[in-house]
Structure 1
Amino acid sequence: MKPVRLPASATNPLPRWGLLLLCLLYILSGLIGRDPWKQEDAAGFGIMWTMANGTWQDWLAPHIVGLSMPQEGPLAYWIGALCIKLFGWLLGDVLAARLATIIFFLLGSIAVWYGTYVLGRRPEAQPLRLAFGGQPEPKDYGRTLADGALLIYLGCLGLLVHSHSTSANALHVSMVGVALYSAARYFDKPSNRAALLLGLTLGLLVLTRGWIVPLALWLGLLALDQIRTKAPALRLVGLSLPMALVVGASWALASQNLLDAEQSSIPGWTAWNLEHFALPNWTALKYLASNGIWFCWPAWPFAAWAVYAWRRGALPLHIALPLTFCVMSLIVAIMHTGSDESILLPLLPPLAMLAAFGLPTMKRGAINAVDWFSVMILTTCAAFIWLGWIAKQTGWPAWLARNAFKLAPGFKPEFNLFVVLIAVAASIGWIVLVHWRISRRPSVLWRAVVLSSGGVILCWLLLMTLWLPWGNYMRSYAPVAHEMAEQLPPQSCVGSTITPAQRASFAYFSKVPFQRIDGMQCDYLLLSGSSRIKADSQFRRYGDDWRLVWEGHRASDRNERFRLYRRNR
């Protein structure tokens, strides 16, 4: 028996303009008004910027001003570089590259919504018919479930940072959502067109971040098709797989035929894929257990409840399909050789979809418990963010201000009335939302997640408005890059062994013409290290004919040191 019994009043959907506004509020917070930050954000921007300002060979062999970056795939960087080419003159290169990030996020959000909508309209997903009528229509029920899935997707903690970074991760999680939507279309109404769309999506996933995840998803879909139809999966084998191979191999074929062997990134890309694939190991399982709980919150409790509620008999498609994606993503995660949050990203779209189908079966007491937990925890977080900002502006409370300035020595707080008004408006909106939820006690399905998602978006918005100058000061390399550029004569050649993110930041902000360190043909050498390492011992491995001409560091990091050496002539 179906576990769902609902009146039509429980399926009042959210307005489309409200969902779009919520998505834009979510993604624009943190993309405007900041420099590329260290780690994957700056490195991803460096690849895009190099492509946009380079030749066609740079598009086939991703690199950061000479430093080869064969990992992952080129698709996200192609789109970002294209945005720089088209809009860099108007928005600046950094913000233009982030247009790609906005596109990636909206693509994933639309895919999660429509994938849930397709499955939510199916007959087996519908609630039981009421004795005197009044049950919701299939389209209304599917749309309400899709609203809930999108709210849960936006509320996932693991999505926050990665969806706002200029990297392949932002596109990767979205393409998994598109693959889930394509699979829903295929299993809902099998056709050659749906099979080709699924193959195209899996091929684009290969170009986004390697072949391991799309291969696992295809194998899972092949098994699911066999179980459901008891017949050979001819379309998956004869249409989806060839399409995925053609699209996924296009970059490799072009690189191998158009570039020299030394320029091609394909050997490094293949090695990177193989390095992230091994037998299941305890380290990966422990990492998944310890980090997946918060990374996939609040989706996983609702998703687990959905599987439990629909457990009787054969699992219907709206449970079996996203569950297949979850299982295959978990298998990939436990076979991963390192500790990397990005391996958990493919779990978010299917978990959000599963969680949406758990909402109609939840008891009122469980929903109220989730709401009160969200209100208490997220309101406390928002209040602490406000308190920290007040401490930086006024010096009270003294202990909080002291700790904030201790982490960022030399930081000078600035007051921006427009930013403060945005933060105040968001806080008032949160209070209104909480009052509406508590006083009205609406019966709509998405009531169970609206506070969780709204609170997460509020905290992120406050961090990316009130605390953005502090975060920019802590994580940007712009000041130290400008400082180093003053020590270089025009048209200098610089060799370096700094990290990809540092290289990208120094190249962009200081316009340093970096070269490969092979052969040591440059007159300048930029090295990074610790303050505990003596300057005269750092360059010994490169010979003794070097002289230190500059040393600097980010004001927020007392241990990190950048040293510029000049060759003695």
Structure 2
Amino acid sequence: MSTSSAISAQPEHKRLKGITLPPSGWTLAILLVLYIFTGLIGHDPWKNDDAVTIGVVHDLVRHGHWLSLSLAGAPYPDAPLHYWVAGATGHLFAWLLPLHEAARLASGVFTLLALAFIYLAARQLHDREQAPAAPLLLAGSIGFLFHAHEAQPMLATLTAHSAAYWGLAQLNSRALRGACCFGTALGLGFLASGLAPMLPLLPVAVFAAWRAENRQRALLMLLGALLLACTLAGAWLAALLLGSPDLLAAFWQDQLTLLRGNGQQLLNLQRLSGLLPWYAWPALPLAGWTLWVKRRQLRGLPLALPILAFLMTLLAIVTCLGTRSATALLLLPPLVLLAVPGVASLRRGAANAFDWFTMITFSFFAILAWLGWSALVFGWPEKLARQASRLEPGFVGHFNLLGVSFAVLATLIWCWLIVTSPRSPMRGIMHWMAGLTLFWLLIATLWMPWIDYGKTYRPVSASLAKALPEKRSCIAGLNLADSLVASIDYFDGIRTVALSSPAGKKCELLLTTHGAPNPRGWKKVWEGGRPGDRRDNEKLQLYRREGKTPANRQPSAELQ
């Protein structure tokens, strides 16, 4: 029989060979890199943490304040690690990218490291065959998707937590390496977000050392790890004490305020209970399944360590960190480590149902993404085009050949993947991660101009800059969010001072976003907002003080 005849005689499924499961190193790495770095560039700073972080990095790079952070010229007492790395990537890629995109690459670096460390921790706690499920579950968590593609300092803390779990998992077998890894992670985690987010790791570390076969040696190694962490953190604190003691005092005051909590523990717990079911999907239900099927093994370190870590982190978030979406990231690593055994132990019917749900869901979302793009660019379907125009009035879509080609290729790869993937307990979670990557990639390549049009403050800042007089002493600010302050400084160098400050009381101009000042003393000269801003408190308003005001005149009580 000829070679061609032999090939033609092979079954069809043999010729349509897909990826191997569990995914090999290169397959997993390519998928995760594609997921991580898609969407980090190609858009302006957006409201909230993304704009604030980029604003701090802008000050850092522009003025060289690497030790004492500032935002639009005002001191910003925060832990510096993420800003340092973002400043470094901003310098390194300044020849290729604008600062806000180059700085956002730091999030990609921390995300990649977090996924690598969670893989190593899962391999240490469970086994090599199950370990690839860990980065797939972490990256596939819906809440993780939102923050992994913004300039988000909490990603550095997430990386530190993931590395700490890897170190603690080694305390029994490789105590020295595990202690060094844990101590470094603890110290860098302090530099990433301060003291409060790292405290939950301490009881987990004591538990891991207590469960080691050589308990005394493990506890001594743990003590050495704490000394290493204190050395790393103390180096920055000592430098800050010498160079900017006021900023150090403000930093510690913020830390103490966090540790005292806000007295809303029950409310925070209620919010988390509503957040986690979708935020931690699919890690949360798989972790619950692990607890059920492995209920007789809960005292073993592979399950006891992530259970204790989750409970301690939950306690810290509820009592002092607050239930912001970003802080909930710290709950994902222990949930993922707990969920890994649940992937392999899923019953065939449940695994097939999850796989079919995944394929149908993301195929449907892909179709919606393409229909939405067609509405934005070609105006069809008309009803969808009208809705998009209503949400972001004035937007004009354009055909981007490179982006469309990339989106078509990603869609074809998704079709190939769901047809050729072999049967495996990991097939469902692999399809989930691939489908989420496809959906995010389609949004980033097809919808990003429309999203950026509605979220950026660039046109608003430019309009404000034109409305300002060329000669002005200062601009007072009232009820301005940090993200807005950062945006107008980044785009056009517009800086404000607090109205309640001595300097602010002398300003002839006032910029506010909430209500109108006293009409007897101020006159509105400009108003602007993003196209989708419909409420008055979302719009910027510029006022000029009427008449000449003595330097010692006090603003009216309405503005205080």
Aligned mate of 1:68, from 75, 86, 103? 75
- Which deviates more from structure 2 when the two are superposed, residues 448-457 or residues 60-69? 60-69
Aligned mate of 2:37, from 19, 22, 28? 28
For 1:467, what is the secondary structure of its paired residue?
A: helix
For 1:549, what is the secondary structure of its paired residue?
A: strand
The 1:456/1:399 distance shift into structure 2, 3 A limit, reads same
Q: Is the 8 A contact 2:206 2:219 kept in 1?
A: no
Q: Which amino acid aligns with 2:487?
A: S
Q: Which amino acid aligns with 1:85?
A: H
**Deviation, structure 1 residue 257:** 2.8
Structure 2 unaligned regions, length at least 5 = 1-18, 549-560
Aligned mate of 1:563, from 541, 553, 558? 541
Report the counterpart of residue 464 of structure 1 in structure 2.
444
Report the counterpart of residue 473 of structure 1 in structure 2.
453
For 2:199, what is the secondary structure of its paired residue?
A: helix
Report the counterpart of residue 148 of structure 2 in structure 1.
163
Within the alignment, does 1:184 sit opposite 2:169 as a pair? yes
**Deviation, structure 1 residue 43:** 0.5
- Which deviates more from structure 2 when the two are superposed, residues 366-375 or residues 86-95? 86-95
Aligned mate of 2:277, from 293, 298, 313? 293
The 1:86/1:525 distance shift into structure 2, 3 A limit, reads farther
Report the counterpart of residue 79 of structure 1 in structure 2.
85
User: CA offsets per residue over residues 400-421 of structure 1, 9 Å max, x none?
Assistant: 2222211111111122121111
The 1:523/1:348 distance shift into structure 2, 3 A limit, reads same
Within the alignment, does 1:442 sit opposite 2:432 as a pair? no
**Deviation, structure 1 residue 311:** 2.3
**Deviation, structure 1 residue 523:** 4.7
For 1:38, what is the secondary structure of its paired residue?
A: coil
Task: Give the TM-score normalised by structure 2.
Answer: 0.86
The 1:524/1:99 distance shift into structure 2, 3 A limit, reads farther
**Deviation, structure 1 residue 295:** 0.6
How far apart, CA to CA, are the structure 2 residues paired with 1:418 and 1:464?
Answer: 12
**Deviation, structure 1 residue 303:** 1.8
User: CA offsets per residue over residues 156-206 of structure 1, 9 Å max, x none?
Assistant: 101111111112122222221111222223333222x43132112111111
Aligned mate of 2:233, from 248, 254, 257? 248
The 1:185/1:237 distance shift into structure 2, 3 A limit, reads closer
- Which deviates more from structure 2 when the two are superposed, residues 219-228 or residues 549-558? 219-228
Q: Is the 8 A contact 1:112 1:149 kept in 2?
A: yes
- Which deviates more from structure 2 when the two are superposed, residues 509-518 or residues 345-354? 509-518
Report the counterpart of residue 380 of structure 1 in structure 2.
364
For 2:246, what is the secondary structure of its paired residue?
A: coil
For 1:564, what is the secondary structure of its paired residue?
A: strand
Report the counterpart of residue 3 of structure 2 in structure 1.
none
User: CA offsets per residue over residues 233-286 of structure 1, 9 Å max, x none?
Assistant: 5235521222222323433332223224367532443244225x3667221111
Q: Spell out the pairing of 1:409-448 with structure 2 (5 A cutoff).
A: 409-437=393-421, 441-443=422-424, 445-448=425-428
The 1:516/1:254 distance shift into structure 2, 3 A limit, reads farther
How far apart, CA to CA, are the structure 2 residues paired with 1:11 and 1:311?
Answer: 31
For 2:531, what is the secondary structure of its paired residue?
A: coil
**Deviation, structure 1 residue 515:** 4.5
Task: Give the TM-score normalised by structure 1.
Answer: 0.85
User: Which gives a bigger RCO, structure 1 or 2 (Cα 8 Å, sep 6+)?
Assistant: 1
Q: Is the 8 A contact 1:507 1:513 kept in 2?
A: yes
- Which deviates more from structure 2 when the two are superposed, residues 386-395 or residues 19-28? 386-395
Q: Which amino acid aligns with 2:184?
A: L
Report the counterpart of residue 3 of structure 1 in structure 2.
none
How far apart, CA to CA, are the structure 1 residues paired with 2:31 and 2:222?
Answer: 40
Report the counterpart of residue 339 of structure 2 in structure 1.
355
The 1:260/1:358 distance shift into structure 2, 3 A limit, reads closer
How far apart, CA to CA, are the structure 2 residues paired with 1:558 and 1:11?
Answer: 51
The 1:81/1:510 distance shift into structure 2, 3 A limit, reads same
Q: Is the 8 A contact 1:195 1:235 kept in 2?
A: no
Q: Is the 8 A contact 2:291 2:298 kept in 1?
A: no
User: CA offsets per residue over residues 101-150 of structure 1, 9 Å max, x none?
Assistant: 121111111111222222334xxxxxxxxxxxxxxxxxxxx0x3222212
Report the counterpart of residue 49 of structure 2 in structure 1.
40
Report the counterpart of residue 505 of structure 1 in structure 2.
487
How far apart, CA to CA, are the structure 2 residues paired with 1:263 and 1:338?
Answer: 23
Q: Spell out the pairing of 1:197-346 with structure 2 (5 A cutoff).
A: 197-229=181-213, 231-232=215-216, 234-235=219-220, 237-261=222-246, 264-274=249-259, 277=261, 281-313=265-297, 315-336=299-320, 338-346=322-330
How far apart, CA to CA, are the structure 1 residues paired with 2:442 and 2:92?
Answer: 31
**Deviation, structure 1 residue 502:** 0.7
Report the counterpart of residue 6 of structure 2 in structure 1.
none
Q: Is the 8 A contact 1:76 1:208 kept in 2?
A: yes
**Deviation, structure 1 residue 315:** 3.3
The 1:337/1:48 distance shift into structure 2, 3 A limit, reads closer
User: CA offsets per residue over residues 349-372 of structure 1, 9 Å max, x none?
Assistant: 222222222222221111101111
How far apart, CA to CA, are the structure 2 residues paired with 1:507 and 1:28?
Answer: 26
For 2:130, what is the secondary structure of its paired residue?
A: helix
> Number of aligned pairs?
522
The 1:480/1:371 distance shift into structure 2, 3 A limit, reads same
The 1:244/1:390 distance shift into structure 2, 3 A limit, reads same
**Deviation, structure 1 residue 547:** 4.5
Q: Which amino acid aligns with 2:475?
A: V
Aligned mate of 2:502, from 508, 519, 526? 519
The 1:268/1:479 distance shift into structure 2, 3 A limit, reads farther
The 1:247/1:381 distance shift into structure 2, 3 A limit, reads same
**Deviation, structure 1 residue 566:** 4.0
Aligned mate of 1:494, from 472, 475, 478? 475
Aligned mate of 1:50, from 42, 59, 63? 59
For 2:525, what is the secondary structure of its paired residue?
A: strand
Q: Is the 8 A contact 1:280 1:336 kept in 2?
A: no
For 1:32, what is the secondary structure of its paired residue?
A: coil
For 1:30, what is the secondary structure of its paired residue?
A: coil
The 1:378/1:552 distance shift into structure 2, 3 A limit, reads same
For 2:302, what is the secondary structure of its paired residue?
A: helix
The 1:236/1:516 distance shift into structure 2, 3 A limit, reads farther
How far apart, CA to CA, are the structure 2 residues paired with 1:339 and 1:325?
Answer: 17
Q: Is the 8 A contact 1:68 1:265 kept in 2?
A: no
Q: Is the 8 A contact 1:108 1:177 kept in 2?
A: yes
- Which deviates more from structure 2 when the two are superposed, residues 363-372 or residues 325-334? 325-334
Q: Is the 8 A contact 2:160 2:189 kept in 1?
A: yes
How far apart, CA to CA, are the structure 1 residues paired with 2:389 and 2:109?
Answer: 36
Aligned mate of 1:96, from 102, 111, 116? 102
**Deviation, structure 1 residue 397:** 2.7
User: CA offsets per residue over residues 304-335 of structure 1, 9 Å max, x none?
Assistant: 22233222256333222222322222222332
Q: Is the 8 A contact 2:196 2:321 kept in 1?
A: no
